[in-house]
């Protein structure tokens, strides 16, 4: 669901998303990956500049690039996905300003990956059916513990707790 003008709770949530993403060594995270159905995502391919995407809309794209992607929602699975090399997105930042962001390379790929999440699309959905099936089979096998049960993934709350 769209956010509109972000409030203090939205700004706090953006910070939580950033902390969770960093705790899991990701470069992007969307709200629905942590169970929140709002059009909010964060991307950080440059440690000096996090990109906040509230109600993002792709307004332009150029070129083509095929490269490997992974996802915090399906850890340890990677696939080669074709995406535009350059993207322009209109989005609101955490302060409520509507901005136009142009990104290339990894930043463009990460932005589009997170917008896909907001649209209910996983990177696996961008692969061919055979490759997707093989990757999902491998993922299921990797998730099985010695007893044959799938291990639980850590919760977002655990990601914010200090270690040690």
- For the annotated catalytic residues, the residue numbers are 114
43 forms bridges with which residues in the sheet? 28, 51
CA distance 114 to 20: 15
Distances (CA, A) of 7 to 12, 62, 90, 94, 95: 9, 34, 19, 8, 8
Distances (CA, A) of 73 to 88, 94, 96, 125, 132: 25, 24, 28, 13, 15
Phi-psi region of 96 (alpha: psi -120 to 50; beta: other; left: phi over 0): left
């Amino acid at each position: 669901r769209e956010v509109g003008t972000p409030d203090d709770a939205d700004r706090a949530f953006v910070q939580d998303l950033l902390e969770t993403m960093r705790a899991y060594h990701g470069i992007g995270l969307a709200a629905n990956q942590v169970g929140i159905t709002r059009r909010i995502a964060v991307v950080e391919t440059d440690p000096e500049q996090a990109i906040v995407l509230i109600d993002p809309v792709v307004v332009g794209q150029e070129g083509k690039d095929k490269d490997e992607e992974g996802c915090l929602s399906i850890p340890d699975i990677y696939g080669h996905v074709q995406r535009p090399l350059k993207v322009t997105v209109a989005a609101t930042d955490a302060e409520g300003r509507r901005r136009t962001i142009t990104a290339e390379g990894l930043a463009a790929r990460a932005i589009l990956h997170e917008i896909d999440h907001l649209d209910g699309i996983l990177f696996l959905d961008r692969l061919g059916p055979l490759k997707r099936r093989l990757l999902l089979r491998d993922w299921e096998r990797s998730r099985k513990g010695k007893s044959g049960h799938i291990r639980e993934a850590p919760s977002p709350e655990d990601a914010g707790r200090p270690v040690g």
